[in-house]
Every structure is written in structure tokens, then in C-alpha cells.
Copies of this chain bind each other. A is one copy, B any other.
Amino acid sequence: MNRKYVGEKLERARREGRLMLTEAESKAVLAAYGIPVVEEAVAASEDDAVARAKGMGFPVVLKGHGARLAHKTERGLVKLNLRSVTEVRRAYRRIKTAAGGDWEGCLVQPQVEGRREFVAGMFRDPQFGPTVMFGLGGVFAEALADAAFCIAPLSDVQADDLLDDIRGAKLLGDFRGEKAADRTELRRVLKGLSQLSLDRPEIAEVDINPLIVAPDGRVKAVDALVVLSENGVSAADGPGEGVPEAEALAIRRDLDAAFNAKSVAVVGAAPPREKGFMGMYACVRDFGYAGRLYPVNPNLDEIDGVKAYPDLVSLPEPVDLVVVSVPAPHVPDVLRDCVAAGCKTVHIFTAGFRETGEPEGIRLQEEMEKIAREGGLRVIGPNCMGVFAPRTQLVTWPAALKGAGSLAFVSQSGGNAQEFTKYAASRYGIHFSKAVSYGNALTLDGADFLDYLSRDDETEIVGMYIEGVKDGRRFLKMVGETNRRKPVIIFKGGLSETGARAVSSHTGALAGGAKIWRAFFRQTGAVPVDSIEEMADVALAFHCLKEIRGNRTCVLGYGGGSVVSVADNCAKAGLTLPAFSPALFGEVRKLVPPVGAMIRNPIDAAVAFQDVDVMGNILRLLAASDEIDNIIVFVPIDWLMNEGDGGGRHIEKVARFLAGQGRKLAGGKPVVGVWRQFVPDPENRKWVPVLEEILLSAGIPVYKGVPRAVNALAKAAAYYAFQERRGS
């Protein structure tokens, strides 16, 4: 069947009131999309079945054929492994009897040999739309739940990644004397499903079960089912509508105006509160916003000597950003004022809308949505903390830190926006280009901010905290595109079932299953993290290490037990800690005597920390070696207190050496610092910030403890490996 007739076939089934295609129809549709299906014929009579079987060669399979036949195995309508004419005749008669009034004929197929059974399919995820599935089949499939997903469309690389993502992927290689599965055919299956899902939005689901890999590696869809969606074309049917380019351009322009606002109005402005949250007006004012700041409050004439306006329409100018902090029931009126006053971009701090799950909150949010859409407003929020643009000296949350940098942060949660910006800056000295908390995403969603930031010259790394997304396909596309240019690090809240429950309460967003998000990360190459601390760790690695060429790592430390666990930490994070070649081992052995030291990688050598020349010589060896990509130096603060000049000054010496000559000797290979410090003596503790300061100033990322360091390094390395693999 030619691909162009597929639509007619689907249309006919629907006209006949059938949402499920027959097995024969289903396979014809798949075959039209290049998917290898088992040879088959519909036999209209017993003799015909025998003739067909002889033509195909025994053994064969007979199955009932008919538009009303489902659950064929359970109804006794499938007879496998028929080896003779007698068996075919008997099977034909039995199936006919079992089918009763639903009988329309009999399907004859050769018995496909092959012990390796898989399943493949397509369904429409409510968040990400058409999604291709591949998994282990056969009797164990259900019990093992070994399946992986990929959001359509699929590239060849993505198809390969999907195949390799199941736990049983080994079965696709050479297997007990059987040939490796034909990758080209497998890719055709997955890409065929992908293309079909995009071409035919009226298809809700496709199920190929089993997809058998024969001993010669050839692949065959042996049974298949195509299911149409009940309501014709559904919401999550095809590529997202996305946002027209003109609209996207306008959003970027309006966001740029807001982040660089020359004028800001705070509606619901009030004198700073002494207790609890100080209020939006005080936040903006006290951070030192240098533009024109207008308090709006119909009940006040002035706030701390600044004239207050009764409403937005009374302002002397339309402002670049309106901040709304009035009780929820008044927010729709304020939005109407925004439209009337010609203010485009609005941050709504107020909460009490869809996230409450209560009818009144939901109704209010719907009303606001309508006003915003009709008035062309760009709404940040509601139920969020708004914006932080340090270069504009603009912030809508309390106690933000001064200082601007190149990390951007987009957060659905206001708490995380505040805490991450403070944490990253104070812990690691990583400052921000822009940050935004957008809560319920009335009009502007994560993808809109990402679209803006991907083109923002001030931004080199993007961090995101998201709970759900409104247009999954657009988000997927935007993250994938942005990630080519700058690393995108994503903390997805609500991956677990209970997490998802918390999310829906928190922002009324749709949280997807963990497996589909796994596909999302695998496809976009975005870096997944689980906490804001981990996001800061990974951001630091990107910030300091401009490129990472592999994950073969050498750890240079001092202190047996702690160094032993380094190897376990690396294995867990996915870094390899290769054993040195005899040649390299020999070179290191010349520098490090055997007693109390080990040098098989990890290197555990007091002498390297007692004498920086030894450390330098080791670094030189590692730099010259083609066995190692990255170097971790694990500094035991307490153990060095009494070395060298004593009193901890030796720690500073080691730090300065690493920051200067040591780094040079490493010859451009990433160097990562780690410290541990356990003795509760303030004299010891004070050297931690000294070490950190020296290393960070020199662009050497430094972490507390090995697990955090190797995790950050491994994730950054995976990013660069993804880019190289994708060929961008």
C-alpha cells in the first residue's frame, strides 16, 4: 500500500464505526511506513488456507480475521506452529468455529522463528504528544517493564539511543549464536512509527507485539494494532502549534524591555512591612532600582515621600514592567488597567488562583487568561516572585545579591528562584544575567523565557526549575536548540508519583511521568539535576571548564579510606578511573615511594601534598598522558595543617600552586579541586574558604567532598559528549 492511501483506510474504518483496525489493516499501514511486517495472506476457504500455507512453507500460523475480532489469543483464534496440511485444516476449522458470527476469513502467516521478542509502539503523551516506545517483549515484558520512550520525531541517533536505553539492550547484539539485530531495520521501525504519528494525528496508538528478531538478525513485526482516537484529531496529536515567529519576536522584545525596564509600577504598593515579607514595593526600591519607580495604591498619597498613583491609567507613562501585589479578586481589574494604560509586561505576585484547586481560584485565573490574551499582555505569574536583572538593578524579591554574571535561571517556583540565585552567588561566586520565577504561567511559560535567553548575549549557561510545561513539544524543541548554544541544566520537580501530586497542588501544572522525562533529557541533552545545590555544582563546572574531552579521570589524594571510596564515587557518577598503564605507573612510581601510598589511580600519596614539586611532576605526567582526560585533586585540609610552615599556611601554598603553576602543568586538562575537613577546630576550618577563594578565582571548580565533584564533572562531561555525538 502506498503511504498516501493510509488516510483513506483510516477514514473508512472510522466511517464503519471501528476505532481498531484489523491486524491485516494495521500491518498494511505499518508496511506503508517502511516497517518490516511478516508476510501474510487472508484465506477465504480451507483449501485456500492450505494453498497459502504450502506457498509460504511450513510451519505456519493461522489467525482469525475480522473487524470485530479482538483478544484473539484469549478467544482461541490463534494457532501457532502448524506443521502439516492436516494441522492447517484442523486449525482453520477450529478458528472458524471459535470466531462464530465475527468470522470474515483466516490470516495465514509463516511461523517467524526468533527467540528475541520486543515490543514497539506509539502513543500520545498528554504533555509531549506523539511518543515512540520500544521495549522487551515476550512473556517477561510485563513483569520487567523494560521499556523506553522517545518523543517524535526521531533522528537516527535518537533511534539508536532509544534502542540502547532498555536494560535488555544486550539482546540486540550478537546473542547465543544468533546474529546482532539489524539496526537499519530497527531504526526503520522506530522512525516509521514516528513519521506515522506525525502524518496521521487521528491515530491514537500503535502497538507492535511481538517484534521478533530472527536468528539472522532480520526484524519482523508479527502482530500489530492501530487504534484511532475517539474524537478524531486530539489535543496532543501532532507537532505543537508552537508560537508564530512574529509573536515570538514580540515576546522577546517585551521581555527584553522588562528585564531592562526604564520604568516600573508596583500596584498594591505599601510602606515596607516590618514583619514577614517586606512587600513588593520595598523589594524593588531597596535593591536600588535606578529607573522610574511608581507606587500605585488608591488609598495612599505617598509612600516614604514618593507620590503614589491611584491606578495605572493615571501614570505619566506606560511602564516597561507592572508588578501586581493586590488581593486575588482585584487582579483582573488591574490587568484591565494594564491594557488600558498600554503596559505590556506584568508580573503578578499575588497567589490564590488555579494552584489552590478551589473553584473560585480557577475561575479567577480563567478570567485573567482571557483579559491577557485579548489585551496582548505578557504575564509573568501569577503566584510567583517575578524578575531579577542585576545589570538593571531590578529585582522583585527580598535580599537579592548585587553582582551580575552569565548564568540565567528560570524557575516555576519563587522559593527556588530566590534561594538558587543567592546560593550560587554566595557559595561559588557565580552571578546572574537574569532570573525569573513564573509560577502558574498564565501566558509566559518556560519555553518563552528560554527562547529569550537562548539569544541573550549576557547569558552563557541556563538553569531551570520546572514542574510542568504547557506545550511540551515547543519546550522540547526550545531546550534542544538552546542546549546547542549554551548548557541548559534542568531541575524537574515532581518526577515521582507523590512529587507529581505536590506539583499539581503547587502550580496547577501537569507533571509527566519519570520515563517520558528520561526521554526528554536523552533527546535534548539538557543536564538533569535533583536539587538547587546540585544545579549550582554543575553550573560551576560549566562556568570554569570550557570543554571536557572525556570521562577518564585521575584522582590525586591523600588518606587511604577516603581515597578508596573515591573509586566507588566515580563508578556511581559514571566517570571512569582507568588503571594506569605499566609505563605511566612506572613514571609515577619514580615520584612516589611505595610505603603508605598507592598509585594505581586513585593516587594516594602524602608526598604529593607535602611537596608541591612532586604534585607538579605528577600533573605534568598526567597532562602528557593519553590515558587521562580530567584530574581531580583531593585536598585533606586537616592533614595539611601541620605540614610545611605549619598553622595551615601549607594549605594556602598548595592552593596557590594549583591555581598557578599546577594548572599550567596540567596542560589544559580540566582540574577539579575537592576538600574534606572534619576536625572541629576553627583554626582548621578557616582554611576552607581560603582554599576555595584561591581556586575559584583561578577558574578551578572546587567542591566539598568527592561525590559532589565527580557528579558535577560527570554531568558536564556528558553534555560535551552529547554535543560531539550530535555533531553540533
Q: Which residues of A contact B (CB under 8 A)?
A: 115-116, 136, 138-140, 142-144, 146, 167-171, 175-176, 274-278, 328, 351-352, 355-358, 361, 383, 399, 401, 411-420, 422-423, 425-427, 465, 467, 491, 493-503, 505-507, 530-533, 559-572, 576-577, 579, 594-596, 598, 600-602, 604, 610, 636, 638-639, 642-644, 646, 676, 678-681, 705, 707
Q: A499-B564, A502-B602, A531-B707 are in contact. List 18 more A-B contacts (CB 8 A).
A: A140-B171, A142-B170, A276-B610, A276-B643, A351-B596, A352-B596, A358-B594, A399-B679, A399-B681, A413-B561, A417-B561, A419-B562, A494-B568, A502-B604, A505-B600, A531-B565, A532-B678, A533-B705
Q: Is there contact, CB below 8 Å, between B115 and A144?
A: no
Residues on B with C-beta less than 8 A from A143 are: 168-171, 175
Residues on B with C-beta less than 8 A from A276 are: 610, 642-643
Residues on B with C-beta less than 8 A from A679 are: 399, 422, 426
Q: Is there contact, CB below 8 Å, between B562 and A415?
A: yes
Q: Is there contact, CB below 8 Å, between B561 and A501?
A: no
Q: Is there contact, CB below 8 Å, between B502 and A678?
A: no
Which of A418, A560, A679 is the most central at the interface, judged by chain B CB atoms within 10 Å of its CB?
Answer: A560
Least Cβ distance of A473 to chain B in Å?
A: 24
Residues on B with C-beta less than 8 A from A415 are: 559-562, 636, 639
Residues on B with C-beta less than 8 A from A146 are: 144
Taken together as a complex, chains A and B put the C-alpha atoms of A18 and B679 apart, in Å, by 61
Taken together as a complex, chains A and B put the C-alpha atoms of A638 and B495 apart, in Å, by 27
Residues on B with C-beta less than 8 A from A601 are: 498
Taken together as a complex, chains A and B put the C-alpha atoms of A72 and B560 apart, in Å, by 50
Q: Is there contact, CB below 8 Å, between B277 and A642?
A: yes
Considering only CB atoms, which chain B residue lies closest to A641 in the complex? B399
Taken together as a complex, chains A and B put the C-alpha atoms of A632 and B413 apart, in Å, by 21
Q: Is there contact, CB below 8 Å, between B494 and A564?
A: yes
Q: Is there contact, CB below 8 Å, between A494 and B416?
A: no
From the candidates B140, B420, B467, name the one contacting A136 in the complex (CB within 8 A): B140
Residues on B with C-beta less than 8 A from A467 are: 561, 564
Q: Is there contact, CB below 8 Å, between A412 and B561?
A: yes
Contacts A415-B559, A595-B328 hold; do A502 and B566 have CB atoms under 8 A apart?
Answer: yes
From the candidates B416, B495, B594, B604, name the one contacting A568 in the complex (CB within 8 A): B495
Q: List 13 A-B contacts (CB under 8 A).
A: A143-B170, A143-B175, A383-B596, A412-B561, A413-B560, A415-B636, A494-B568, A495-B571, A502-B602, A506-B604, A530-B568, A530-B572, A531-B707
From the candidates B171, B278, B423, B507, name the one contacting A642 in the complex (CB within 8 A): B278
Q: Is there contact, CB below 8 Å, between A144 and B142?
A: no
Least Cβ distance of A227 to chain B in Å?
A: 21
From the candidates B277, B414, B571, B579, name the one contacting A496 in the complex (CB within 8 A): B571
Residues on B with C-beta less than 8 A from A142 are: 170, 175-176
Residues on B with C-beta less than 8 A from A417 are: 561
Least Cβ distance of A574 to chain B in Å?
A: 11
Least Cβ distance of A440 to chain B in Å?
A: 11
Residues on B with C-beta less than 8 A from A138 are: 139-140
Taken together as a complex, chains A and B put the C-alpha atoms of A414 and B560 apart, in Å, by 7
Considering only CB atoms, which chain B residue lies closest to A494 in the complex? B564
Considering only CB atoms, which chain B residue lies closest to A606 in the complex? B276
Residues on B with C-beta less than 8 A from A678 are: 418-420, 422-423, 426, 532
Q: Is there contact, CB below 8 Å, between A561 and B681?
A: no
